[in-house]
Amino acid sequence: MMRAVRWLFVGMLLMLVASRVTASAQIREESNSPFHDAWEHMDQPVAETRANRTWTWGPLQDSFTMVEEYAEAPGSERLVLYFDKARMELTYPGDDPQSIWYVTNGLLATELMTGQMQLGDGTFTDLEPASVAVAGDPDGSSSPTYLTLSRLRDAPPAIPGAVISQHLELDGTTRNRPALAEYGVTAAYRVTVPGIDHQIASVFWSFMNSEGLVYQDGEYISATLFANPFVAIGYPLTEAYWITVEVGGQPENVLIQCFERRCLTYTPGNPEGWQVESGNVGQHYFQWRYNKSLTDSLTSLPFTTVVEGAAPGGEIPEPFLRVVTNTEQRAELAGLLSTADLPALEQVDLSRHIIIAAFLGLKPTSGYSIDIIAVAARNDLLEVVVRDRSPAPGEPVRQGFETPYHLVQVDRNVLNLGYVSRYQVVDASGVVHAAGPIDSGQ
């Protein structure tokens, strides 16, 4: 049985540097990560300035990995990865990784507009629609909110081909502004499904069906950006409306349309390639759900596996952690590993990397394992998300005590542990399982 466990290591973190170039380069090392594969495909060309278009997810260094409740997921918890623009979700890790639904894109705009936070396929918690500005400068004073847009969900669809000149005011009313017709945006594609009947604006429909540079199978190619635009963006929740918001302190005419998964904006005054952008729905949702800023939360750190295995015997029954920064600590760690895994440990260049070793604790048989699936940090907090496995009923096992482990390496340029002083080990519910000092060894 799989269950998600969160390991929190609390201390003083001297410095966290994660540049866009470094992050996008290191992420390529993690080809086994479905989240990273999805990010690479669309946003690596943007991060490396090879593609002149909006981010689909957002800069990697601004992302945040965590475990959230979801009723149908194994253990009723799933791994998610928040970005500025959206949230990736891995609900069924045992499914076909080649499916377009393996890594899903959360229905964040739907939740923000309805006030219903989804905790399962049919499980919801009722909150209030988000009073968070949808577009414009961060102070939000010039922009309508998701609450404002929620009152327009039942507005009738525009006439096919009609020029869009409806302007949305801050008080939620709309009025026709003929001057906006000069931008030539029209109602281009009508979506009629149960509960939804809206037109998609021409600039957004063109973007949803556009081609561009993507990263695929280790190379850059030109391809359709979205194999199925409704999987990536969702069905429209509203009509498209013009709003006047401050962008960089200056008033701008911006067209906005919210879909189930994202909100899209069109700013005619933007440079070519950046006129259509994805709104910061991931940021807005995180603020609404957790009442704090995504940028104040943990930053996901790229890592690669050193070795996974199990050592015979052991003395510590509970989960524990080792952080290795020098050769003396590596020698101590070697005494906790299987002999077969020592060569992999010795190959780590400690001048460039820090080793994080997670141990499951002493187990009575084979069949147990532990996997680090995310590493993140913010200020005084280092978080490692792991998933552990126990033998299934009737599964053949080898008798004899052993201690499973998973070792990963993190680049020193991304993570500096110079002032970390202690750690805590807790599960997803926040229960502390272990605590103790961390010797940074700097």
Residues 106 and 236 in one domain: yes
Residue 6 lies in a domain: no
Q: Dihedral (C-alpha) 292, 295, 301, 302: value to the nearest 10 degrees?
A: 120
List the single range of 32-36, 138-142, 328-332, 421-425 with lowest mean pLDDT. 421-425
Over residues 127-134, the mean pLDDT reads 93
Structural domain contains residue 420 = yes
| 10 pLDDT higher than 90 | no
Q: Per-residue pLDDT averaged across 166-180, rounded? A: 93
Strand order in the sheet with 263-266: 174-176, 166-168, 241-247, 250-258, 263-266, 276-278
Position 419 pLDDT exceeds 50? no
d(CA 359, CA 356): 10
- Let me know whether 291 and 323 are in one domain: no
Residues 235 and 305 in one domain: no
Most confident of the following: 62-76, 332-346, 373-387: 332-346
d(CA 16, CA 302): 12
| Residues 13 and 379 sit within 8 Å (Cβ to Cβ) | yes
Q: What is the C-alpha to C-alpha distance for residues 100 and 92, in angstroms, rounded to an integer? A: 13
pLDDT for 30 equals: 35
What's the mean pLDDT when you consider all of the chain?
Answer: 84
Q: Do residues 426 and 7 make contact, with C-beta atoms less than 8 angstroms apart?
A: yes
pLDDT tens string 102-124:
999 999 999 999 999 999 999 99
Average pLDDT for 397-405: 95
Higher pLDDT, 64 or 180: 180
> Are residue 342 and residue 411 in the same domain, yes or no?
yes
The answer to whether 15 touches 39, Cβ cutoff 8 Å, is no
* Per-residue confidence (pLDDT) for residue 378, from 0 to 100: 61
100 versus 33: the higher-pLDDT residue is 100
Q: Is residue 215 assigned to a domain?
A: yes
The pLDDT score that the predictor gives to residue 317 is 86
Q: Which of 296, 331, 346 is the last residue of a domain?
A: 296
> Averaged over 417-439, what is the pLDDT?
57
Confidence bin at 438 (pLDDT 50/70/90):
low
Do 230 and 314 have their domain in common?
A: no
Least confident range from 3-17, 197-211, 271-285, 418-432: namely 3-17
Give the per-residue pLDDT at 141.
72
The pLDDT score that the predictor gives to residue 417 is 59
**Structure confidence at residue 60 as a pLDDT band (50, 70, 90):** confident
Question: Do 284 and 306 sit in the same domain of this protein?
Answer: no
Query: Can you tell me whether residue 7 is helix, strand or coil?
Result: strand
**Using 50, 70 and 90 to split pLDDT, how confident is the model at 32?**
very low
**Do residues 416 and 272 share a domain?**
no
Tokens of 127: 């909150």
pLDDT score, position 5: 36
Range(s) of the domain holding residue 49: 19-296
Q: Considering its fold, how many domains does the chain have in total?
A: 2
Six-digit token pair at 224?
């359709």
Is 86 a domain residue?
A: yes
User: For the purposes of burial, counting CB atoms within 10 Å of the CB of 119, is it exposed (0-12), middle (13-18) or buried (19 or more)?
Assistant: middle
Q: State residue 182's pLDDT score.
A: 95
Task: Give the SS3 label for residue 138.
Answer: coil
* DSSP 8-state assignment for residue 157: P
pLDDT at 373: 75
Are residues 228 and 163 part of one domain? Answer: yes
Domain boundary among 228, 263, 296: 296
User: Domain check: are 45 and 194 in the same one?
Assistant: yes
> Is pLDDT above 80 for 18?
no
Tokens of 287: 């603020």
* pLDDT of 161 over the 60 cut: yes
User: Which of 164-168, 195-199, 291-295 has the lowest average pLDDT?
Assistant: 291-295
The two beta strands, 211-216 and 219-224, are: antiparallel
Q: Which residues contact 258 (CB under 8 A, 6 or more apart)?
A: 109, 113, 134, 146, 149, 236, 237, 238, 264
Task: Tell me the mean pLDDT in the region 130-158.
Answer: 89
pLDDT tens by residue, 41-52:
999 899 888 999
Amino acid at 87: R
In a domain, 8, yes or no: no
Count CB-CB contacts under 10 A for residue 339: 9
Same domain, 337 and 398: yes
Report whether pLDDT(425) > 80: no
Q: How confident is the model at residue 418 (pLDDT cuts 50, 70, 90)?
A: low
Task: Identify the band that residue 218 occupies on the pLDDT scale cut at 50, 70 and 90.
Answer: confident
**Average pLDDT in the 134-162 region?**
89
User: What's the one-letter identity of residue 1?
Assistant: M
